[in-house]
Amino acid sequence: MTAPLRIATRKSALALWQAEHVATLLRQAHPGLQVELVPLSTRGDEILDRSLATIGGKGLFLKELEVAILDDRADIAVHSLKDVPAELEPGFVLSAILPRADAADAFISNHYANLAELPHVARVGTSSLRRQAQLRAVRPDLQLLDLRGNVNTRLAKLDEGHYDAIILACAGVERLGLGQRITARLASPDWLPAPGQGAIAVESRASDARVAELMAALGDPETQIAVDAERAMNERLGGSCAVAIGAWCVVAEYGLTLHGMVGNAHTGEILRAQADAKADTPVALGHEVAAMLIGLGAEAFLSPQR
Ligand SMILES: NCc1[nH]cc(CCC(=O)O)c1CC(=O)O
């Protein structure tokens, strides 16, 4: 019998759902394979009193999971791709990108149907600089308030009346079976999600051939192409939680369209660019849109906005 495959995961409900999902897919693809979860705490989970933008550092949600793999306490780690920095730690690879869920952000409110219906100076909860910049761009009057914690915590804070609305990713809300809480979708390309949003990634040791073989069954080529374009753009712009960057790549019959934005969370200024390419050049497309944004003056938006 072969050794069980051990999946390192964060302990939030969403992280556990995603890790269980990968476990289920692996058992289906490889009958007889034993799969176990190894739930762990990460720095990103423990620091809840400050926004990610002020903590700084990339990969706050990854490090402890990577250490578990290096210590041979786990074989793979499951992440939301949007939490995975553009550059991985040396020796690690993303061995599978799963089929993408809805990449869009969600507007969630108990009283108002959409962003336009929010009253003057309404309170909106989000600590994401990308979401803040896009909110300010269309509604400069809004009060933007910090909101951290896992998806359930954020919904509970909305329900307690601390906010008139909050912004979350559709994918996370839907995975938790809470899709009915989505009041309105913030549709792209007018509103852009984070690079990689809605996709689940499996990270493993670059040298682990057994894992590479097992993961081949899980990867989704179309999602891979889209997120390669989005992440290449983000990487070129030096993206992190400390800057407001949005990206969304459409994969269609004719090829790819990548929409990109860089914003300023304080002023609501937004720079936008888009370009098309054939489906086999997603990374070049990402670099092209990044260069267009830099040509428009993105540099001024890319020093950390604290
Ligand atoms: N920043 C935390 C995070 N990382 C991934 C998701 C949602 C799931 C996904 O995008 O795949 C969320 C919550 C949110 O932004 O609402």
Q: Tell how many helices (H) and how many strands (E) occur in the chain.
A: 10, 13
User: Mean pLDDT, the chain, as a whole number?
Assistant: 94
Q: Which residues of 209-219 are buried (b: 16+ CB within 10 A; e: fewer)?
A: eebeebbeebb
Distance of CA 57 to the CA centre of its chain: 16
State the distance from the centre of ligand 1 to the C-alpha of 15, rounded, in angstroms. Answer: 10
- Amino acid 159: pLDDT: 98
Catalytic residues: 83
Read off the amino acid at residue 235. Answer: E
DSSP strand pairing (35-40 vs 105-108):
unpaired
> What domains appear along the chain, each with residue ranges and CATH number?
5-98+199-219 (3.40.190.10), 105-186 (3.40.190.10), 229-300 (3.30.160.40)
Pick the residue whose CA is nearest to atom 7 on ligand 1. 172
Pick the residue whose CA is nearest to atom 5 on ligand 1. 80
The length of the chain in residues reads 306
Distance of CA 298 to the CA centre of its chain: 21
What is the number of alpha carbons within 13 Å of residue 115 lying toward its C-beta?
23
Helix 221-236 / helix 282-295 crossing angle, nearest 10 deg:
30
Q: How far apart are CA 222 and CA 34, in angstroms?
A: 28
Res. 238: pLDDT tops 60: yes
Pick the residue whose CA is nearest to atom 8 on ligand 1. 172
Q: Is the ipTM of this complex over 0.85?
A: yes
Q: Which two tokens stand for residue 250?
A: 């459409």
Question: CB of 249 within 8 A of CB of 230?
Answer: yes
- Nearest atom in ligand 1 to the alpha carbon of residue 197 is 10
Res. 47: pLDDT tops 70: no
- Pocket probe for ligand 1: among 47, 82, 181, the residue whose CB has the most ligand atoms within 8 Å is 82
Q: How far apart are CA 125 and CA 26, in angstroms?
A: 37
Percentage of the chain beyond pLDDT 70 is 93
- Pocket probe for ligand 1: among 174, 197, 223, 248, the residue whose CB has the most ligand atoms within 8 Å is 197
State the distance from the centre of ligand 1 to the C-alpha of 103, rounded, in angstroms. Answer: 10
State the distance from the centre of ligand 1 to the C-alpha of 169, rounded, in angstroms. Answer: 5
Average pLDDT, stretch 136-165?
97
pLDDT, one tens digit per residue, over 108-140 is 999 999 999 999 999 999 999 999 999 999 999
Q: Is the distance from the beta carbon of residue 10 to the nearest atom of ligand 1 less than 6 Å?
A: no
The H or E element that residue 236 is part of is: helix 221-236
Predicted confidence band at 225 (pLDDT cuts at 50, 70, 90)? very high
- Pocket probe for ligand 1: among 18, 58, 80, 146, the residue whose CB has the most ligand atoms within 8 Å is 80
